[in-house]
Structure 1
């Protein structure tokens, strides 16, 4: 290997070669001979490894692409030869990444823009690069990637309200758990907790699929309709929402529980808790709860429940709070 400075033309050649290898090694028909040639290419210059790793970082953004073959992994985790090499490599990456992204963009595999947003202890409003507006609930996280044929959001956790800018030729797709929501321009809310997802449509229309691997676009929702799904569902469940629906109360900082069984209320509550609240048995889960709560103060709700419901608190072996129903005494004869 050598630390001899490279010309701009050599930089560009390395970028093109790295893009070629990144795409080729992800193909199922890549041969043993090609993999050996890739190994030889890596050994020619330390920048080859750095540029290939930069390609893999971009590749990771594209969730639809196939994962690298496990036999490739050892190739891309070699130790740098010196701090000087690392510094020079960083400079090369700065120049090369735009070229690599351009190659992937033309093929429709890689995005030309990428954004990541998180909301921790307050509701956050953000603007995506396409002009769409998103409100993020507490404890929520999403990424936005703009591809040649689609705009794609991945909701990592939490809840978000979308006001999508209209673009018929460039669909807007939200991935949530194993499913997806596809639109061209509309307003809708996506709530996710563990493997449960709920989609509420406010305006326009959306197509909801419970499994991104299934063929077809999914089921269509119209205004005032709701879809929900969880792991293993072949199709989402569709229902109607009404004027008194409180699903979007979080946008005003509130959680509204309208006479729900505890088993149904806990996913809504636990979305905001560091340690999820649990019920000891089905009889406890059937106890009903109502009220309006501040989403920033739901920790206090856990300790106050024994004061308003016939329950008491214990802890399981993981330290999570558990609600237990208080046994009713038999009436005296």
Structure 2
């Protein structure tokens, strides 16, 4: 293909090929030869790689399409694979077939809008197409999809503060790790690191589910309440926050560690690091740390820890820094 500007037909052909490759590579019977053929196609032109990445974003949207009973799964496909395939096909309609997209919207399969936001080295404020305002912490990536029956955010990583536009007929759902937060209009914060999630409510009410396959089993939070969950939790842990709570200090550019055990502090620290630091054992994890740090300088915190704690740094076989407690010498009689 020429490096010059592509015709509309050529561009559409690349888009269609990217969609087909995305569906094929996610199929359970995709072969090694097919994967090699895909790599050759992917590397043949920069546009191929660009369009395929765009299709992966759409595939992610398809993963959250509402399950309806109007489409029976083909017998040879597993249910999850079938729904992803149906969803991907519907999402491709959004790009290539306006009539199909309109039908998909009415059925609740295809969003009328899809947005992706990312905050890298600075806090970022964005306004979603529904008017909701979102503040993204450093290293945060999320997507927003507007469906006929609900508004959906997928928090891929990081932390975000939401001011949701009130709409009782059009719920706002935030998916984070294995669970989700469901609201109609309110202000709340969602922090996520790996499979750990913490939801802090400032105003209004939210329903938090730790397992998004059972969203009806969620727990309702009121202002000043917090929910925590991680992968595998049947239900979230609910607690009350107090004036001393530092969960939202990031909005002022700060990470505050208030005399926390290292086991509790490290996820907060690692959220800002490219390579996470680990505690060598339970004795190290029990050591306590405090202080106020600039979120842009957290990367400089790890090398300084041996200066403020009785620890020394090593690295494991994966190259991750590891904190090791210095053994305490017994007192002489």
Please confirm whether the aligned pair reaches a TM-score higher than 0.5, indicating the same fold: yes
Query: Is the alpha carbon distance of 1:60 and 1:257 closer, same or farther for their aligned partners in structure 2, counting shifts above 3 Å?
Result: closer
Whole-angstrom distance in 2 between the partners of 1:223 and 1:160: 17
- The residue aligned with 1:307 is 307
Aligned-partner SS, 1:312: strand
Distance 1:93 1:160 in 2: 31
Q: Which runs of 5+ in 2 are unaligned?
A: 1-51, 66-78
Give the corresponding residue for 1:125.
125
- Tell me the equivalent position of 1:332: 332
Instruction: Summarize the Cα distance change of 1:305–1:168 in structure 2 as closer, same or farther, 3 Å threshold.
Output: same
1:93 deviates by 8.5
Report the equivalent of 1:169: 169
Aligned residue number for residue 185 of structure 2: 185
Report the CA distance between 1:109 and its aligned residue: 1.1
Contact 2:94 2:100 in 1 (8 A): no
Relative to structure 1, the CA distance from residue 133 to residue 228 in structure 2 (aligned partners, 3 Å threshold; closer, same or farther) is same
Q: Are 1:115 and 2:124 an aligned pair?
A: no
Matched, 1:150 2:150: yes
| TM-fit CA distance, 1:216 | 1.4
**Deviation per CA, 1:144-188, whole angstroms, max 9, x where unpaired?**
000000000000000000000000110000000111100000000
TM-score norm. by structure 2 comes to 0.74
Compare 206-215 and 287-296 and name the one that shifted more.
206-215
Shift of 1:64: 2.9
RMSD, matched Cα: 2.7
| Residues 110/330 of structure 1: CA separation in 2 closer, same or farther (3 Å cut) | same
Q: 1:245 to 1:121 in 2, by over 3 A?
A: same
User: In the alignment, which residue of structure 1 is the partner of 2:269?
Assistant: 269
What is the aligned partner in structure 1 of residue 141 from structure 2? 141
Q: Take 1:232 and 1:172, find their aligned partners in 2: how far apart are those partners?
A: 24
Q: Indicate the SS of the match to 1:299.
A: helix
Aligned residues: 265
1:94/1:332 Cα in 2 relative to 1: closer, same or farther (>3 Å)?
Answer: closer
2:260 corresponds to: 260
Deviation at 1:110, TM superposition (A): 1.0
1:269-310 Cα offsets, whole Å, 9 max, x none, are 000011101011101111000000011111111000100111
| Matching residue of 2:222 | 222
- Match of 1:260, SS state, is strand
Q: Give SS of 1:216's match.
A: helix
The whole-number CA distance in structure 1 between the counterparts of 2:128 and 2:229 is 26
Question: Residues 225 and 240 of structure 2 are in contact (CA less than 8 Å); yes or no, is this contact kept in structure 1?
Answer: yes
Residues 94, 101 of structure 2: 8 Å contact kept: no
* Distance in 1 (alpha carbons) for counterparts of 2:322 and 2:56: 44
8 Å contact from structure 1 (residues 62, 111) kept in 2: no
Q: After superposition, give the CA deviation of every residue in 1:171-220 in whole Å (9 maximum; x if it has no partner).
A: 00000011110000000000000110000000000000000111515100
For structure 1, which runs of at least 5 residues remain unmatched after alignment?
A: 1-52, 77-91
